[in-house]
Amino acid sequence: MNLDPLFEEMGRNLQIPARLFLRAGHHRDDPGAVANGLKENELTIALRNDLAQALKARGVVVLVDDDADDLATDVQKIAQQCRPNDILLDLHFNAASPRATGTECLVPLAASRTEVNLANEIAKAAAQCMQIPNRHHYNGGLPKTEAQSHHGRLAIMRPNCHNVLWEVCFLTNAADMAAYAAHHRTLISTLTHTIFPYLHVA
Ligand SMILES: [Zn+2]
């Protein structure tokens, strides 16, 4: 997606509030990654609910996915409703070898400045909060694009808004998950502060 900067400015000038589409990667019948007795879908649903509650408390309009819907249905619903200055944040936990560690975000192949900035801020804040590596450092200080993902192209990157996919940490790494559990509450408030400026259009 290549967002025309002029259109982005128009949205701001018209004071259209940006909304957050917050999606739990993996629905009720799709566990996603499973390791260490944990299921990715249960973790992302819980994280989505906590983040949504915290952002709604600050006046942000948060639209969440239906846990009965699969990815294709979510993408279709979001694509129908989203506006160019809205944010779509898709929550995931990473999976690899037990030693792989850290947090990172993915953005579309032709990412907007907003997408890259938000992705970098989320990874930086999450890494500091959980005291785990910011994996953007292994990628020249940038988020990976969908082309660097396992799939090459991600359907969730197609709705016409700002799209960021956050891999919170590694489900397959016991130390990452311990850090996530230990810092969960701080992580919610830190992420709320990080995301809020992108949604509050003054
Ligand atoms: Zn996932």
| Centroid of ligand 1 to alpha carbon of 171 (angstroms) | 10
| Centroid of ligand 1 to alpha carbon of 178 (angstroms) | 19
Query: Which pLDDT band holds residue 8 (cuts at 50, 70, 90)?
Result: low
Q: Where does residue 75 rank: exposed (0-12), middle (13-18), buried (19+ CB within 10 A)?
A: buried
Q: What span, in angstroms and rounded, lies between the C-alpha atoms of 197 and 15?
A: 14
Query: Which pLDDT band holds residue 202 (cuts at 50, 70, 90)?
Result: very low
Q: What span, in angstroms and rounded, lies between the C-alpha atoms of 176 and 179?
A: 5
CA 44 to chain CA mean position, Å: 10
| Centroid of ligand 1 to alpha carbon of 81 (angstroms) | 23
Q: What is the pLDDT of residues 69-97, one digit of tens each?
A: 999 999 999 999 999 999 999 999 999 99
User: What is the number of helices (H) and of strands (E) in the chain?
Assistant: 6, 8
Looking at residue 33, what DSSP letter applies? S
Query: Which pLDDT band holds residue 149 (cuts at 50, 70, 90)?
Result: confident
List the chain domain ranges: 5-199
pTM as predicted: 0.91
| Centroid of ligand 1 to alpha carbon of 132 (angstroms) | 19
Residue with the two structure tokens 């900067």: 5
Q: What is the pLDDT of residues 154-190, one digit of tens each?
A: 999 999 999 999 999 999 999 999 999 999 999 999 9
Which CATH architecture group holds 5-199? Answer: 3-Layer(aba) Sandwich (3.40)
| Centroid of ligand 1 to alpha carbon of 33 (angstroms) | 7
CA diameter of the chain: 49
Q: What span, in angstroms and rounded, lies between the C-alpha atoms of 133 and 187?
A: 15
| Centroid of ligand 1 to alpha carbon of 31 (angstroms) | 9
Q: What span, in angstroms and rounded, lies between the C-alpha atoms of 166 and 105?
A: 4
